[in-house]
Structure 1
Amino acid sequence: MDYQEIAKESVGYLYKAHRSIRTTGLEVQLIALAELRTSQLNGCAYCCAYHANELREMGLAVALIDQLPGWRLATGFDLRQQLVLEWTEVVTTRPADFKSYYPLLLEHFTEKELAELTTSISLMNALNRLRMTLGNH
């Protein structure tokens, strides 16, 4: 189904929000990292390929992209990247203790950055689900 054409206006707003988040001041590479991890968690093959390629083009080391599924055991991710990956998993799976992550996150991100990051992850979850349920496979 060509959901992007069928629901052109509604889906267009989602993509407009996606583009807008990338102009907020939060490092675009961190946003793309969160988008790739979200897509991995959701199993969206199209989005995984798209965001992995995007990160390569942004200069993220291929070794890090390859290690992303096992990021907790990898040594190459810096602290902000690790926090983004952790928060991505929290937002996507929403464990009961999700608020316990706020203090550490707010030591390393402003409230605006955290809000934008959370919006990006939430939006990617929605876009993954649209692609996986209605997209052409």
Structure 2
Amino acid sequence: MNQRIDYYKASKEAVAAMINFEKAVSAFGLEQSLLELVKLRASQINGCAYCVDLHTADAKKAGETDRRLHAVVVWREAPFFTPRERAALAWTESLTLIASTHAGDEDYAALREHFSDKEMTDLTVAIIAINGWNRLAVGFRKTPTA
């Protein structure tokens, strides 16, 4: 697959806005390990090879295990995730696939059980951010470097 454009060069202002958005998300105080799982799961759903590669590497640098990273795609069946992580992954799927899920009550109830109002809002904004990055990378065919 060939990259269509280099959006980092094409619009420095747009990418700077996304980077600032990402910096804000990182400063919210949610666990880095949780954020990486969320970023990885959204990227898997969106078919973003670049972001899957990036967030797998970032998660490993932050201490995540290969076993858990390999299981993110099947997190519902894997016993390696905490109830809080499961709630976040379900919410990630629900929002990433919002046209078909409409952010269902079951996923919201699980989220509500494990996150405060602030954390739910912060997590939702983090999911919005990674979906934005995925759309840039997939739309313009950004690929991981070998």
Aligning the two structures, in what range does the TM-score lie when normalised by the shorter sequence? over 0.9
Alignment partner, residue 48 of structure 1: 52
> Which amino acid is 1:116 matched to?
D
Question: Which one is further off, 113-122 or 91-100?
Answer: 91-100
Query: Do residues 93 (structure 1) and 97 (structure 2) align?
Result: yes
2-side partners of 1:36 and 1:116: how far apart? 17
Alignment partner, residue 110 of structure 1: 116
Alignment partner, residue 69 of structure 1: 73
| RMSD between aligned residues | 1.4
* Contact residue 48 and residue 137 of structure 2 kept, 8 A: yes
Taking a change above 3 Å as real, the CA distance of residues 21 and 57 of structure 1, as seen in their structure-2 partners, is same
Task: Quote how far apart the aligned CAs of 1:97 are.
Answer: 5.2
TM-score by length of 1: 0.92
Alignment partner, residue 19 of structure 2: 15
Task: Quote how far apart the aligned CAs of 1:104 are.
Answer: 2.8
1-side partners of 2:107 and 2:74: how far apart? 20
Spell out structure 1 runs of 4+ moving beyond 6 A: none
Q: Which protein has the bigger helix share?
A: 1
| Structure 1 unpaired stretches of 5+ | none
| Structure 2 unpaired stretches of 5+ | none
Q: Secondary structure at the match of 2:16?
A: helix
Alignment partner, residue 35 of structure 2: 31
> Which amino acid is 1:57 matched to?
K
* Contact residue 34 and residue 85 of structure 1 kept, 8 A: yes
* Contact residue 28 and residue 122 of structure 2 kept, 8 A: yes
Taking a change above 3 Å as real, the CA distance of residues 10 and 42 of structure 1, as seen in their structure-2 partners, is same
Q: Secondary structure at the match of 2:75?
A: helix
* Contact residue 24 and residue 116 of structure 1 kept, 8 A: yes
Q: Secondary structure at the match of 2:45?
A: helix
